[in-house]
Structure formats: structure tokens, C-alpha cells
Amino acid sequence: MKIVQIIDEPWDSGITHYALSLAHGLTEQGHAVTVWALRGAFPFEAAERLGLSTQDCRRPWLRFWKLRRWLIENKIELLHAHTGSAHVLACLLAAALKPAPKVVRSWSDSRLPQRRPGRLWLLKRTDGLIAANRLILSSLAAQFPFVPATEIFQGIRWPSPAPMERPPGAPLAIGIVGRLDPVKGHVDFLKAAALVLKRFPDARFLLAGGQANLSRRDLEALAADLGISGSVRFLGRVPSVSDFMRGCDIGVVASTGSEAVSRAALEWMASRRPVLATRVGCLPEIFEAKMPEAMTPAGNSGAMAEKLSAWLANPALRESLAQRAYERFVEIGDFPNFIAATLAFYRSVSAPPARSRRLTVFHVDGERGFRGGERLLLDLAKALRARGHRNVVVCRQGSALQTRAGIFGFETLGLPFSHPWDIISALRLRKALKRSPASSTVVHAHSAHGANLARAASLGLKTINIAHRHVDFPVSSRLSLWWKYAGAQKVIAVSQRVKNVMVASGAEPGHIRVVHAGLDLEALPLSPSAPPNGTREKLCSQLHIPPQGPWIGNVAALVDHKDQTTLIEAMRRVAEIHPTAQLLIVGKGELEGRLKALVQEFRLQGRVHFTGFQEDPLSIMRALDLFVLSSHMEGLGLVLLEAMACSVPIVATRAGGIPEIVQEGVSGVLVPPRNPEQLAQAILGCLNDPEKRKSLAAGGKDRLKDFTAKRMAREIEEVYLSC
């Protein structure tokens, strides 16, 4: 593609680094990228140091027609604006050209977009929006739903991390990186340093960064007033940030605002250093799911000092935090994924409108039952139909999926799916594929059995093949990985955890796109926080459950990885404190007999109830006081979204992709898997605190905004069109 990146701000900032790293990565992949920047300013000079093509965009309104002519001569296909003024320029230039280049705006600053008349004019002439974090994406989706938008987290290149080695007796060093600006929290950092030094007088506090809206002299005066000048070093702009970070034992991001991207946090994590961060901007999105203990309130130097002191006193804790920080960086800061996701979005907005690119999507699923994967398939098909695409559900003849797909008005193709190498099913699917134009035909496999059949049926055809991975089990063999997944143009993973497991099994990271599952909220019976009158009474009669006491529920297949064994063990402890508590286990499976025997062994008859498979599990879920998911392996946990939709508070394990849905303490409580003691404590903590349950339920309802079927379909459509 021929692309222009417009960066018309003069300084070194997160926006500048975001734009330049993107331009550099796209250029390395063979795309013709030109950076428009202010000659003599940092972005222009940095682009030239990277060997990028540059164009001066000073005084653009005086040079408007010259810039227009340059775009025509160079046949530019896409203008990517990184600031508000760049956005105005891009839209006006596009309006003056026929054919017009596509306009994409990235939002990577802390000022959330607002709906204003002038901005509405711009957004109606914008082809796509890229949000640097989930908070910005939510705001964009609410304010400008008519513009395609996606979240793409910035990836960074970074040297391999060095081990934390400190000579015996050498003082420990705590560092902060960033321009000297009130919003970056240097004052709080120094106040926290003064408190830490009372307990650890040999510690050293290092500040790296050039002056901006706060003078070094003022900070030095504050350090003197606090009596810590001898323990604080102001290094100014350092020649190598990575070398500076290697020289520190702990990193701090102390910002009181901003941090829409937080490159500094990613750099500390990539350096394999424990990093303490404030709860602003994108930082909760980075840390709260996997490292909630690495967060501290913004503007609270006392809380910051308390955490730093605890880390300084515990080398094993520092090492653990450093390793987890690096693992989290690998999950979210992968540079090739950043480039691939941006390029896929460029291609999706550059594609002709959906009405001229109507796709036929064959959804292939050979499962016998109807579980989360089948529910996701139908929600995706409904959302894709709303976007103008034809959907055909390929499933086991006579299955529950075929019945439900027919109810929703979808074409179905029922096949025997008699065994993994069912040649009859493959030939029948191949015959159907040949009747559809190959360039607009997608074969989307939603299960392992489906992936096997889809690959066999489409051999030699120029269809778009997609494999969807829902589980976080390792791929069974290298042959299975090659046949089912490597042969697809793209693999969609329902969570970052699923992607990580596939990569560990040998899959290529750039071949996999993470798209979180979403619910069709319009089809759900969303309820208020309390169930309707008569709901629980009706269930008591149907299921023979006592009405009194709190109701705890689990909706899942009775199989090993759902680990109801741990839940029943936890229930034994809960019953000691809450003898009237009732546990409802909704589902069926191979472990039902063993679980019932365990209930008898623990003498929990009359307190633990097995309801079997329920056609409408949401009717039970709405009557619960607490939902518990005890899995020790879980791809994502679609049932958690259903619990959130029913306004039921959640206790779950940290297994698999669950932390990518449940925010600790906000939309649920998380505990380690296979730990009945901690699971019981979390359940009791919720049962004993009605206000906490109410808060978690509200947080879960709010969390649903990020997990809609419409968002899922839009992102999966982008994957289709990028192939």
C-alpha cells in the first residue's frame, strides 16, 4: 500500500513514537510509507534517522495545492492522521481528490473524543478509527457508531531483557522515565522516595527525561526540601532508555493523567523489571487482569511508598513481578502483531463497501451438543447477516445447532460427521463450496472436527479459510497443527491465552488474530439486579430446591477442565458458615456420577443440586445471588458474559482467558484455579457483603460493552477481508 503518516506536532511524545514505529514497521514489510512532519522538529528528524521517506507539512494551508499534487503524483491510497489538526488536513485533502484516498485517524492521547458539530463533519468523511486503548474505543463507539473503529495496542521493539544482577552491597535503584511534566507524577515520585528512604536509606531514585512543563530546578528544590538530594539523581534525557532501565531494580509509572499508550510501562515490562503503575489511562487495561498488585492510586505518594517498600524488602517478590511483567509484555506488546493488526484494518477500510463485497460464509461445526462455541457461531452469523453477508451453517445432521440455526432463518447443510476423516461429508461440503464464487467464499471452521473437514473440502479451491480456536488445550500434535491450522489463511483465537498456547505448540504468532467472543445482547433477556417476582419460586417447584438462603450457581459441562470438584470442595467450607446456602450445578457430562458421589461423601445432599442440561439456563442464572466458574482451563468463558448480562456477580478462577473478561474487584473476584480454600473465601466474601455483590454486578454489566456480537463480527469481518 502507499500510505502517508501525518504527525504535525513538534515534540517527542507517545503519539510521535506510536506513529514512527508504525511507519517503520510498515516500510519493513514493503509498503511505501511517507511521514509528513514539521521540518526541523523531532518527528521529522527521527523519521529521517530511521531512513523513512519524509515530506515537510509546515504551513499546510499555504501549501495545500502542492500537497494535493504530491498525493496525486505518488498515487497515495491512505492518509493516517495522528492528531486533530492532521485529521482536518487529511479530510480536506481527501475531499479535494478523486478518487479520494482513505482517511484513518488514530486516537492515542488521553483526551477522550467528544461529539461536536465540526468533529461530526470530519468523522463522516473518515473511513476508520484506531483506538490506542479500550477506554478510547468505548468512547469512540458511543460517540461515533457510524465509523468503523478498532482497538490496536501499540507494540514496541526492545532489546532482550537482561537479568537483574546487583553486586553485593550495591544500593537498589528505583527509576522513572518520561518528560518532566506535572502529569507524569514526578512530584509524587519524590514524595514517595522520601518515605521509602526512612526505611531503606541506601536506596537510590533515578529520574530520566527532558524538561517540558516542569523544570528540573523545581524538582531539585523539592528534593532538597524533603532532605533526599543525596539519594536522588536527575539524569536528563538519557542516550539509551534500555540501558537506563537495565540499571534499575524497579520501574515506576507515576502519572496522574494521560497514559493513553504508556510506552514507558511497556518498556519497563520488556526490560523484565517489576513496574509499579498508577490507575490512569490504559494502565489498568495492561495490569489489572494479570498483575493487580502492580497498581497504585494516582496522586497517592503514601500508597506508592508502601508498595515500593514491600518490593524492596522482598527479592523473591521482585523477581516474580519482573517475570510476570515480561510475560504480559509478550502478550500485548508484540510488534509484529501491532503491524499486522493495523495493516488488516487498513485493508478492511480500503475494501469496497460490503454491498459490493458480499461474502458467503460457511460456518463449519461438527459438535453433537450445543455449548458456548455453538452459541458464539450463531451470534456471529446473525451479526454478519446484519452486515450484509450470506451465512450457511454446516453442522451435524439433526443436531441442536441445525435446529436452532433453522429457527433463526439460516441455510443449513447437515452432514454425517461420522469420523474425523469422513470423506462423504467432505465431498458434500466441497460440492456446496464450488457453487459459490471462490473469491467471496469464506470457510470458517469453529471446532477441531470442523477444521479437519473444512481443510479437506477446500483443497485446491481459492476460498478464504479461517480456523477458530476456542479452547486453551495444547494442539494435540504437529500433524494436527499443520493440517487444521497452518493450512488456514488466518487462525482466530478467542483469547490471548489461547493464542499463547497455540504459539507454544508451534504456531506462528503472526498467523493468529485474537478476537474476543461477544454476545448478541439484543437477544438476551437482560434483567434488573433482582430477579422478577415468582422466578425463584417457580424454579423451587420445578427443581425441588429450598427457596431460603443464598443461591450459588455454576453453568458448565460436567467435564474435567470445568473442575466442579473444586467447587464442591469449596461448598463444603461455605456450608459451615452459611448452612442455608444452595449450589446449583447446571449441565451434564461424563463426570456427573463422580461429582454426585463427592456430594454424598461431603454430606452436602440437599445443598448441592444437579439440574441437568437446561434449554434456558439464563432463567436459572437470573435467580442466582452469585455465579461461580471453577475451571482450571478455559478458552475465554462465554458463560461469564451471560452472567454479567443477567446482573449476577461473579467469582471465577484465573484460568485461561478468564482474566481477559473479568476485571479483578471491578466485574468479579478472581482466585487461583484448583484452590478450594481460596475459592470458598471469595464466595463467602461476596455472600457476606451485599454491597460488594451489587458493585460487582454493575461492573459486569458495564464490562459487557466491550464484548458485543457486533464488535466481534466487525473484527472477524476485518480478518476475512485481510486474507
pLDDT digits (tens, 9 = 90+) for 460-469: 999 999 999 9
Contact 248, 173 (CB under 8 A): yes
pLDDT of residue 531: 43
Closest CA to 498 of 479, 485, 482, 488: 485
Residues carrying CATH 3.40.50.2000, the chain:
173-333, 351-520+709-722, 527-706
What's the average model confidence in pLDDT over 668-683?
Answer: 97
In sequence order, what E strands does 319-388 have?
360-365
Cα–Cα separations (whole angstroms), residue 70 to 66, 67, 93, 292, 550: 6, 5, 11, 50, 70
pLDDT at residue number 392: 95
pLDDT at 164 over 70: no
Per-residue confidence (pLDDT) for residue 523, from 0 to 100: 65
CA distance 70 to 60: 13
Instruction: Please state the rounded mean pLDDT for residues 710-723.
Output: 93
Query: Around Cβ 532, how many Cβ atoms within 10 Å?
Result: 12
Which 8-state DSSP code applies to residue 668?
A: B
Residue 356 predicted with pLDDT over 50: no
- CATH 3.40.50.11930 domain span(s) along the chain: 2-151
Q: What's this model's pTM, rounded to 2 decimal places?
A: 0.54
Residues 6+ apart with CB under 8 A from 87: 81, 103, 105, 122, 126
Which residue would you say has higher pLDDT here, 227 or 385? 227
Confidence at residue 198, expressed as pLDDT on a 0 to 100 scale: 95
Beta-bridge partner residues of 653: 671
Residues in Cβ contact with 85 at an 8 Å cutoff, skipping those fewer than 6 apart: 8
pLDDT in tens, 170-180: 899 999 998 89
Q: Are 401 and 363 in contact (CB under 8 A)?
A: no
d(C-alpha 455, C-alpha 122), whole Å: 44
Per-residue pLDDT, 524: 64
One CATH from 3.30.300.30, 3.40.50.740, 1.10.150.530, 3.40.50.2000 for 351-520+709-722: 3.40.50.2000
Q: How far apart are CA 317 and CA 324, in angstroms?
A: 11
Q: Is the pLDDT of residue 10 over 80?
A: yes
Strands of the 2-7 sheet, one edge to the other: 53-56, 32-37, 2-7, 78-81, 102-107, 128-131, 149-151
Q: pLDDT (tens digit, 9 = 90+) per residue, 464-511?
A: 999 999 999 999 888 889 999 998 999 999 999 999 999 999 999 999
- Please list, in sequence order, all residues whose beta carbon lies within 8 angstroms of the beta carbon of residue 105, skipping any fewer than 6 positions away: 80, 81, 82, 87, 90, 126, 128, 129, 130
**CA 255, CA 268: separation in Å to the nearest integer?**
15
CB 107 within 8 A of CB 132: yes
Distance of CA 88 to the CA centre of its chain: 30
User: Nearest Cα to 391, choosing from 382, 403, 401, 379?
Assistant: 382
pLDDT for 352 equals 63
- pLDDT on residue 46: 93
- The C-alpha angle 295, 297, 301, rounded to 5 degrees, equals 105
Sheet holding 490-493, edge to edge: 411-415, 390-396, 360-365, 441-445, 464-469, 490-493, 512-514
The architecture of the domain spanning 173-333 is 3-Layer(aba) Sandwich (3.40)
The CATH code that applies to domain 527-706 is 3.40.50.2000
User: How big is the chain, counted in residues?
Assistant: 723
**Helix or strand (DSSP H, E) at 139:** helix 134-143
Distance (Å, whole) CA 111 – CA 139: 10
- The 10s digit of each residue's pLDDT in 512-569 is 999 999 998 766 644 333 344 346 777 888 778 888 889 999 999 999 999 999 999 9
CA pair distance 127, 32, nearest whole angstrom: 20
Are 428 and 453 within 8 A, CB to CB? no
> Residue 47 to residues 5, 23, 55, 210: CA-CA distances in angstroms?
11, 9, 10, 20
Beta bridge partners of 708: 519
- 59: cell is 504551513
Which residues contact residue 394 at a Cβ distance below 8 angstroms, ignoring those fewer than 6 apart? Answer: 362, 363, 364, 365, 412, 413, 415, 429, 432, 450, 453
Any idea which residue has 506513529 for its cell?
A: 19
Q: Are strands 204-208 and 232-236 parallel, antiparallel or unpaired?
A: parallel
Task: Tell me how many helices (H) and strands (E) the chain has.
Answer: 29, 26
Portion of the chain with pLDDT greater than 90, in percent: 67
Q: Which pLDDT score is estimated for 103?
A: 96
Q: Write down the CATH number for the domain with range 2-151.
A: 3.40.50.11930
Sequence-separated (6 or more) residues with CB below 8 Å from residue 312 = 172, 196, 199, 200, 203, 250, 318
HSE of 485 in the Cβ direction (CA atoms, 13 Å)? 28
CA-wise closest residue to 454 among 484, 479, 496, 475: 484
Confidence class for position 603, pLDDT limits 50, 70, 90: very high
User: Which whole number is the average pLDDT over 2-18?
Assistant: 88
pLDDT tier, 407 (very low <50, low <70, confident <90, very high otherwise): confident
Phi-psi group of 563: left, alpha or beta (phi > 0 → left; psi -120 to 50 → alpha; rest → beta): left
Determine the 3-state secondary structure of 561 from DSSP: helix
Burial 273-298 (b: 16+ CB within 10 A, else e): bbbbbbebbbbbbbbbbbbebbbbeb
Which residue matches cell numbers 481459492? 462
The DSSP string of 62-113 is TSHHHHHHHHHHTT--EEEE-SHHHHHHHHHHHHTSSSPPEEEEEE-SSS--
